[in-house]
Amino acid sequence: MSNTDFLTGKKIIIADDEDFIRTHLCKRLSETGLVALEAASGRQVIDLMEEQPDLILMDVRMPEIDGYETTRMIRSGQKSADIPIILLSALADQEDIDKGLAAGADEFICKPVTFAVILEAVTRKLDSLQIS
């Protein structure tokens, strides 16, 4: 396994309105050394932006503000415009994906996936961030 020490201490917001999914992702990602911040809605994600996260892993279909809208709001914010955003959604049509990327997401992962796929994407994003 490649060296993942650089993950340690990085902040990641994990947003999903389904408790089981959110909790599971938090637990597994915390094990890699990441600091996981939980959010059950778009609103909570916006609120957590003060924490200056390094990455956002977010469901699309959420109450109040959905993933698309939240992405757009983050991109429009001055400080948060460059934070990588990975959308993770049960919506899997090409139009949904296009919509997400158009909103400003860096990546769009369709459920169901193994944790390994998610971890790979997270690592890759944070790694490239580090290099740049």
CB-wise, 91 or 121, nearer to another protein?
91
Closest CA to 10 of 84, 79, 62, 89: 84
Which of 1, 78, 94, 112 contacts another protein by CB under 8 A?
A: 112
Cβ 109 to another protein shortest distance, Å: 10
Nearest to 71 by CA among 50, 92, 85: 85
State the nearest-atom distance from the C-beta of 99 to another protein, in Å.
13
Residue 81 binds another protein (CB under 8 A): no
Contacts with another protein in 19-78 (CB under 8 A)?
Answer: 20-21, 24, 28, 61
Q: Is 6 in the site for another protein (CB under 8 A)?
A: no
The alpha carbon of residue 51 and the mean position of all alpha carbons in its chain are separated, in whole angstroms, by 14
CA distance 79 to 92: 30
Select the span of 4-12, 37-45, 47-55, 111-119 touching another protein (CB under 8 A). 111-119
Q: Which stretch binds another protein (CB under 8 A): 36-44, 65-73, 85-93, 119-127?
A: 85-93
Q: How far, CA to CA in Å, does 6 sit from each of 26, 39, 54, 58, 131? A: 18, 24, 12, 22, 11
**Cα-based distances in Å from 75 to 17, 71, 82:** 21, 6, 7
Lookup: tokens for 3: 């060296």
Question: Which residue's CB is nearer to another protein, number 6 or number 115?
Answer: 115
Residues binding another protein (CB under 8 A): 18, 20-21, 24, 28, 61, 90-93, 110-115
